[in-house]
Every structure is written in structure tokens, then in C-alpha cells.
A and B are shown apart, each in its own frame.
Chain A
């Protein structure tokens, strides 16, 4: 949130961008295998060569800003769009030419898309009627589906007479009642209020674990993706930028875009200088930082240092505690923002403004306008190639 934060657009190198399938998993164990899918709408490239492998029973989130191609990818899996090139397999079967009704994949739409002329019961029973499931079994399965999504006593209501949360649950029940191999969810919680969204996130995860169905979840909300997913796949500009567990994408972002999009980060422009034992020195706007290099760290030249706000500790100037940290920067505490459980502090260090987040009681030692010491370890940072540079 400091002046050093920038909007970034990153083009990642395909090799690093492709989240490899679990090498131990045989191909048949894959729920979805997407290879080099490309899609253009007129002059706009929606997908620029995406490859993705999803294991059976995995909860995977496609995360990215709007226009990054995540919904297009989901619609290609669902059969609502046809890719210009590349292949899509679902449970080993190539589905490129199959219409949506021939794919054992169901979708929960962002707008729910309930049939307004039908009751809740008729909506949920719809796929069973189409599949000619006998009437008694139909009733039983609708009841089970309603139980799964914890809805009772609304069967005879029209779909138009439901609240947002209820519609959401009916849409989910309708998509699950046909027992699809894969469930696609297109920002299904976007229209709900925050409280309801939070509880639905946990409930979706519970339902997914109960059924063991593969979930592919599209969202632009990084917190939602972190809460629910086994794996998060970050997309930007029609490409897959990074894939990994929530912990991995948060702690080990592959580039500036991921670091910026997932969680908060101080992103400092700098130049890689000499080595200092195991560490690398980076000159960031006149401030020298000692950072631990990773595979993504450029050997020399411009780089971006990313530091999570919660990794920065603030000390009163002159205090000796925290001396073990490699970076101890003298600065001025410009502003304290109260966030409830946390306190966000903006610290000016030379030309930089660092954002630190600390628990309330830790912040009591410092005050606005006073000189402070911002401390963080070399391992608390990530040095990433700057925007546009080939990684």
C-alpha cells in the first residue's frame, strides 16, 4: 500500500508457468488434462497457450484479475467455448468436440442461472429428468442434494422467490445431483455478502471433501482461493503464471505479479549488487538490503524485492533487540492505521515507504512521528525479476 506498490503485468516463461502434474500419478488418475490451449476473441487473446493438469478429487482455484482468461478456460472445460488449438481431456477422454451436454462436467454459474419458471424441486430434478432417472429415485436424490447443501422446506417455492444465499445453494444442488466427475464453479460466491461468503467457502470445501468430486473454482478473490484450495493456479494475460499450494504461492511467488496479487507485499525496485556470503546485496533506492537468493533471483541488474508486511518488525530506534535480523533500517513511523486485530504502520526509510503489519500490543511500543527501526531477515524477502524481463 506504500508508494512503492505497482500494478504489474507479468509474462511468465511457459516452462515455469506450467504446473507439472504429480509425477507419481498415472495419466488416468487425472481429472482434467489441458494441453496448450489457445483462444482468441477477435483481436483479443483470451488464452495464450495454457496447460493444466488436475488430479481427481482436487480442489483447484483459477485465480487472477478480470480479463486474465480464467473464466474462458473454465468455459472451455465446460464446453461453452471451443478452443482455437490445444486439447482438453476429462478423465482421459478427449472432449474437444463434445457439446456441454455430452460432458460429465457440471457448472455452477456466477448468476446461478436457475430456471425461473420452475420450482426449486423441478430445478434440482432437471438433470435427472433429462437423464430419465425413475421418479422415485429422482425424489430421493433431490432430497439428498438438498440435505447436502443444507436447505429445507423450499422445494415447492419458485426459483425466483429465493434469497441470494438460497439460490446459490439450489444452483449447487442442481449441479451436483447428477453426480458429475468434475464440478466447475464460476465465481459462485461473488454476489453474496461477506459473512455469507465466508461461511459458504467453508461449506463448499466440506461438500467437496464429502463427495470427493474434483472442483475447479474460478475467482478473483485471493483470500477465497487461499481459504479453500488444494492448489491455486494464478493466471494473468491469458497465461498460467504459477501453480502451487496456497502456502507456496504466498511464500514463494515466482514473480512480481504473484507476489502482488496474492496477499499484501512491499515491492521495492532495486539493483542486484555483490554477494555477501550466502546473501545478495540489493540497492533499493539508496537503501541497501541483504536478501537470500532463490532460483528466481536475477544474477545481476534490476530486480524487485518483495517483503510481506507481517515479516517486518518495528523497534524503537536504538533498541538492540532483533539484532539477529540481517536488515535493520532506520526510519520514521509516518502513520499508524488501526485494523482491529492488526495495526498497519507506514515507515519512511530514505526514499522508500515500507508497510508493516503487527499485532496491536507490539505496536504500543512505537508512536507516529518517532524514529523507528524496521527489522527483517534475509529469508523474509524474495528477490524477483522485474516486470517484462524474461525469467
Chain B
């Protein structure tokens, strides 16, 4: 008994100096794991796993309405080579760009006014923004149709005043309508990040810029905009991604030239049951969107320094 315990003491003693640090490190790793673990698992399971599955689908083939794991790039070839897909993708980029730039610009103007001009109304107005964000998506699309349709509010009013005889049909069912309706949906989403970024611009920094010789515009371009850029970029990117992936608005108000790739992707999945092609189209769209976002991030960061 005494012999074994004596033997055991040796290594344990040598380890004793190291042991607290080691266990501290282990405990730290454990705490970190507990903190980020659940969120990571959630993202991995519900976001990354489906993505991986769909990526595999895009490399497989459909035969007799069944997906079989025959590796090929046909779906991507179709996505790149088919003229109609290319035109659709380009149309999608144009509409998403228009809607996201419109929403980010208006959101920035709104947040800027809130931060610098209407400080006393910040809370009620932000609350209104959040409310707007949670109002129904479809409801809003139909509201726009009621506004802009042939017998809608705008046309009836114009006819009532006697400005027009026939309803203005260009108000709805085209690319412009899709841009406006999408922007309307995206603005509340875009306000919050840019507002948060503008909260980080301190009054003292703005006063310092004025003090050191900048006029109102110089201060805006050299101090306010660069400091708000990360938030503004995030607002725009969020809007762009959401718009590029949308398929309801183009269907309901987009008309012929307002069709977006999302509509075709849902059709390919639901009607054609062609999962490989749908997945390939989705990944192509995602890739193009991410490429555009990276370019904007790089260029914007260079300009607003």
C-alpha cells in the first residue's frame, strides 16, 4: 500500500504545477463550447446540412422522377448555357440591385434623420419600423396591387380629378413595380443595421470634423458615411440577398419583364420535380449574388475611408 502510494506521488507531484493551468484551459474550452455549441449545432443542422444535401442533388441526375447519384455537371451546364436562364438571372440581378439600393438608401436617410434630427422621436419611430417589419408580406403585396391596379386607388383618383381617361397600366405588372414592392418590404429590414451603425457615430467626432475645417457635406463623406459604412453595407447586402431570392413579388406584381429566377427555381422543384436543375440554379444564383456583394464591399470600403 505504502509502496504504491509512494510511486503514485511522484508523477502526480510533477503534474501538480501544471494541473491547475490545464484544468483551467479545459474548463475554458468547455465554457466556450457551451456558449457557442448550441448555436453552431443549430446552424449546422438546419442550414449547412440542407445546403450540402442540395449541393449533392445539383451534381446528381433525375431518372423516372427519382434522384439517382450519378455524378455529372449537366444541371450547371444548363444553368449557364441556356439563354433563358441567363436572361432571368440578369433580370434578377437588376431587380434585386434596384430594390436593395432603393431600400438601403431610404433606410439610411431615415436612420440618419432619426439619429441626428429627430432624436426625441427615435423610440416611437423605431417601434413603428419593427411593427412594419412584422406586418404580413402577402398582405402588403396585395395592398400595392390595390394601390396601383387598374381600378386601384391611384388610377381612380387620377380619373376622378380628370387627368386621365384610361387607367395607367404601367403602374403594375412590370420590373419597376417589382422593384418598388420589394423595396417597400425590405426597408424595415434595412433600417435596423444602419441605425445601429449610426448610433456609433459620436457627436464629438462630427463636431471635430467641423472644427477641423469640414463643411456639412465634407463631414458627411469623410466621417459619418465611413463610420456608418459597415452598417450600411450590411443593410444593403441583406436587402440584396432577400430580394434576389424572392419569388412571390415577381409573380404577383412583376409581370413579364419582372420575372425573377426564384420563380423558375420554385417551378423547377415543385412542378418539374427536377431537383438537380433547381439546386444548380439556386447555387448559381447564390454564387452570383455573393460575388456581387463581395465586389460592393471591396469597392465601398475603398471609397468610404
Contact = CB atoms under 8 A, between A and B. Distances in A.
A117 B213 contact: no
A113 B213 contact: no
A346 B226 CA distance: 60
B226 A130 contact: no
6 shortest A-B CB distances, which residue pairs?
A113-B204, A113-B208, A130-B213, A127-B212, A100-B210, A100-B211
B70 interface: no
Interface string B202-219: 101101111111110010
Nearest to A130: B213
A115 B223 contact: yes
Contacts of B211: 78-80, 100-101, 105-107, 175
Contact of B207 (A109, A130, A175): A109
Q: Is the interface of A mostly helix, strand, loop or mixed?
A: loop
Given A111-B202, A112-B204, 5 more contacts: A99-B215, A101-B213, A115-B223, A117-B227, A127-B213
Q: Give chain A's interface residue range (CB within 8 Å of chain B).
A: 20 to 34
Nearest to B213: A130
A261 interface: no
Contacts of A127: 212-213
A131 B226 CA distance: 20
29 contacts: A78-B211, A79-B211, A80-B207, A99-B210, A100-B207, A100-B210, A101-B212, A101-B213, A106-B211, A106-B212, A107-B207, A107-B211, A109-B207, A110-B204, A111-B204, A113-B202, A113-B205, A113-B207, A113-B208, A115-B205, A115-B223, A117-B226, A117-B305, A118-B305, A130-B212, A130-B213, A130-B218, A131-B213, A175-B211
A114 B212 CA distance: 11
A217 interface: no
A126 interface: yes
A310 to B, nearest CB: 40
A178 interface: yes
A174 interface: yes
Nearest to A109: B204
A116 interface: yes
B204 A174 contact: no
A117 B202 CA distance: 13
Contacts of B210: 79-80, 99-101
Interface in A80-126: 80, 99-101, 105-107, 109-118, 126
Contacts of A99: 210, 215
Most chain A CB atoms below 10 A, which of B204, B207, B213, B305: B213
Nearest to A126: B212
Contacts of A80: 207, 210-211
A175 B227 CA distance: 21
A78 to B, nearest CB: 6
A131 B211 CA distance: 12
A99 B215 CA distance: 8
Contacts of B212: 101, 106, 126-127, 130, 174-175, 178
A115 B202 CA distance: 10
Contacts of A111: 202, 204
Nearest to B226: A117
Contact of B208 (A79, A109, A131): A109
B234 to A, nearest CB: 16
Contacts of B207: 80, 100, 107, 109, 113
B205 A130 contact: no
A101 B223 CA distance: 14
A127 B207 CA distance: 13
A378 B208 CA distance: 51
Nearest to A105: B211
Contacts of B204: 109-113
B81 to A, nearest CB: 45
A106 B207 CA distance: 11
Nearest to A99: B210
Contact of A130 (B202, B214, B227, B305): B214
B271 to A, nearest CB: 50
Contacts of A110: 204
Nearest to B223: A115
A107 B212 CA distance: 8
Contacts of B227: 115-117
A295 B55 CA distance: 93
Nearest to B304: A117
Contacts of A117: 226-227, 305
